[in-house]
Copies of this chain bind each other. A is one copy, B any other.
Amino acid sequence: MSIIDELTAALGQAKVAVDETTMATYAVDQAPVLEFKLPQAVVRAESVADVQATVRACAAHGVALVARGAGTGVSGGAHATEGCVVLSLERMNRILALSPDDETAVVEPGVINGDLNAAAAVHGLMFAPDPASFRISTVGGNVATNAGGLRCAKYGVTRDSVLALDVVLADGSLIHTGHQTFKGVAGYDLTGLFVGSEGTLGIVVAVTVRLKYLPREVHTIAAFYPDFRSAAAGVLAVGKARVQPAIMELLDGGTLAQLDDLHGSNLSVRGASLLLIQTDGFGAAAEAAAIRTVLAAGGAVVTTEASAEAEHLVEMRRHSRGDEVDDEYRVGEDVAVPRSKLVDYVAALETMAAARHVRLKIVAHAGDGNLHPTFWVDRVDNTVDPDAMERLGKVLDESITAALAMGGTITGEHGIGQYKLRWLGLEQKEPVRELQRRIKELFDPAGILNPGKAV
């Protein structure tokens, strides 16, 4: 029996798609596509048993299995590999439990981050990880990428909110890792090993999360600066004042210009760089006041209290990735550097982009030293001339090397996926990579789970 017949027999026709439209839709995530490959089938699982049956069928046939949440990943982690089965978890989208007293929830992997947050908010709680994609990405995807977000400066990344996991292993068996309690140290931290493993060690079929308290009070500050350097200095100054904002986002001139284009605003007129800060909780007002003082002393033009405009700017920032446009070919990066290196790193980026005639804009989760530079070149009639493509490639390489030289990492939150594999060897030495390969082998000896990704 072919794997498709087997899947159809086990799961029913409604869950197994083989039509071209579906397959093309599920073939890629939001990353740059290096090589476009079609899967041989797309399974939309509705239960743990469906997942187990799919994994078992793939194992029996030696077929690669690519797990997929919402496909919003930007590193190609969910890109199809040749002839693989894409296993979509999007239909497993029930919140199985939410305990306001225990401040925990158990969800299926396909639950949208924003939906979990909406359910938690009723009880004064929140699921802290808030990738800018929170309205469209799944909790399972957040777990598999260890997603960050805006407020993780204060509240931590996805790992910090995950207590336990149900995982289907490469042989189709189901295990439970972790603990329902806030703390627990029995045995090795398998939960942490699965978080961020990008579908290469097992399929996450349920997630137990710790919820945090939804802050009642939030203060937002927008600070305009004459240049990026002084804005980055503002980040350090807030740190030096030992005030912990929930959100601290840095937007450069290129990003402001883009937002102006999109929204008809006049941000670029007001400054060459914008620092957006949110404080929250019982101390929000006092923290905001302290921050305003520090920023003003550093030369910023700071919005006054209770600024609706500042709040609006944070919303705009959440959506500042920007839509793909026809006449540009863009690549978004995701490096992190130690915070004191923010200024030097951005200066280095500007120099290399200018030298290679590649355009550049930068937003940064500055509180974490996590930068998202976007590089782009022109595209004419849907094609980029090879010289521009080469220059772009060189700048990307240089941007990575420079981050590493400053003690940084090649991926702060988006993951290695398929796209960043070529740089992993620059960050991690061979013995460490070898250990990771052996962990991969231990969990997936036949190599069917998302091969060629992450490690």
Contacts and interface: CB of A to CB of B under 8 A. Distances in A.
Nearest to A75: B185
Given A186-B427, A338-B180, A454-B187, A103 B239 contact: yes
A179 B409 contact: yes
A189 B159 contact: yes
Contacts of A420: 186
B338 A439 contact: no
A193 interface: yes
Nearest to A416: B186
A340 B103 CA distance: 9
Contact of A408 (B181, B243, B281, B337): B181
Contacts of A455: 187-188
Interface string A152-176: 1100110110000000000001011
A265 interface: no
A213 B244 contact: yes
B104 A338 contact: yes
A181 B337 contact: yes
B213 A409 contact: no
Contacts of A454: 187-188
Given A336-B183, A416-B187, A432 B177 contact: yes
Copies in the complex: 2
Nearest to A213: B242
B125 A184 contact: no
Interface string A418-442: 0010001001110111011011101
B411 A242 contact: no
B160 A156 contact: yes
Nearest to A201: B188
Contacts of A409: 179-181, 183-186
Which of the four size classes fits the interface of chain A? 35 or more
B242 A124 contact: yes
Tell me which of A153, A213, A336 has the highest count of chain B C-beta atoms within 10 A of its own C-beta.
A336
A336 B182 contact: yes
A296 B413 CA distance: 44
A431 B177 CA distance: 10
Contacts of A411: 184-186
Interface stretch (A1-9, A94-102, A324-332, A387-395): A94-102
Given A180-B409, A185-B196, 19 more contacts: A103-B339, A124-B242, A125-B242, A175-B429, A180-B338, A181-B338, A182-B339, A183-B409, A183-B412, A184-B336, A185-B414, A186-B411, A188-B436, A190-B435, A243-B282, A281-B283, A282-B287, A282-B290, A283-B286
7 contacts: A152-B183, A181-B368, A183-B413, A185-B413, A187-B454, A188-B201, A188-B439
